[in-house]
Amino acid sequence: EAQVTQNPRYLITVTGKKLTVTCSQNMNHEYMSWYRQDPGLGLRQIYYSMNVEVTDKGDVPEGYKVSRKEKRNFPLILESPSPNQTSLYFCASREATNEKLFFGSGTQLSVL
Amino acid sequence: QKEVEQNSGPLSVPEGAIASLNCTYSDRVSQSFFWYRQYSGKSPELIMSIYSNGDKEDGRFTAQLNKASQYVSLLIRDSQPSDSATYLCAVNVNDMRFGAGTRLTVKP
């Protein structure tokens, strides 16, 4: 089954404790992206990647890191999480020439 | 001004009615427009895309685009309780830009 897999689904952590949210897609998509979703603000892009070893900042990159060492994986790293990073996070992917985004099931992160 | 703006709602319609969801965008060079549906606790899924002025119909859904007015809308005919969800408008402007979404409730 074609899908984007995110883990974990729920995560509660404390301020300053490094964490990684994993994202993997099995559709051989070139493009991958991370979004955060907050009430009243919609989906805001954090980082995106056009292909392996190519990443770029989105609209709200502060406090986040990403890497794209393999085509299928695009982890999101919070080196020192803060409470304002409490949010619902979505990973998404698509083909290079197709605008349709496929979303993962989301990660609800709470930073205490 | 936000790049993509939607009425946050909530919008409530009775079953069988037409639900009308609206979206405006700020960048005139935008060429691609999308509607995503997001059920509570789930991820967004693409339901409609539109690229040319006018209407595009797919079953009970009709997307309408007016580039001169920078306006895109989604009509849902014969609304069903299963249509209750948040609808996200998205515009491709140097990558996808999403509105905040409109929550729709269809009451039986």
Each residue's pLDDT, cut to its tens digit, for chain A (112 residues) gives 889 999 999 999 999 999 999 999 999 999 999 999 998 888 999 999 999 999 999 999 999 999 999 999 999 999 999 999 999 999 999 998 888 999 999 999 999 9
A99 touches B: beta carbon within 8 Å: yes
- Measured between alpha carbons, how far is A56 from A38 in angstroms, rounded to an integer? 22
pLDDT digits 0-9 by tens, B22-52:
999 998 788 899 999 999 999 999 999 999 9
Contact in structure between A86 and A111 (CB atoms under 8 Å): yes
A47 close to B (CB below 8 A): no
Contact A101/B at CB under 8 A: yes
pLDDT-derived band at B3 (thresholds 50, 70, 90) equals confident
Residue-level pLDDT at B1: 65
Tally DSSP H helices, then E strands, for chain A. Answer: 0, 11
| Residue among A43, A45, A47, A108 with most chain B CBs within 10 A, to mutate | A43
Q: Between the CA atoms of B79, B80, B86 and B87, what dihedral angle is there, to the nearest 10 degrees?
A: -40
Q: What does the buried/exposed string (b/e) look like for B43-66 if buried means 16 or more CB atoms within 10 Å of the residue's CB?
A: bbebbbbbeeeeeeeeeebbbbbe
Which residues 56-85 on chain A approach chain B with CB closer than 8 angstroms?
Answer: 58
Is the Cβ pair B100, A58 closer than 8 Å? no
pLDDT of residue A95: 92
Nearest CA in chain B to A90: B43
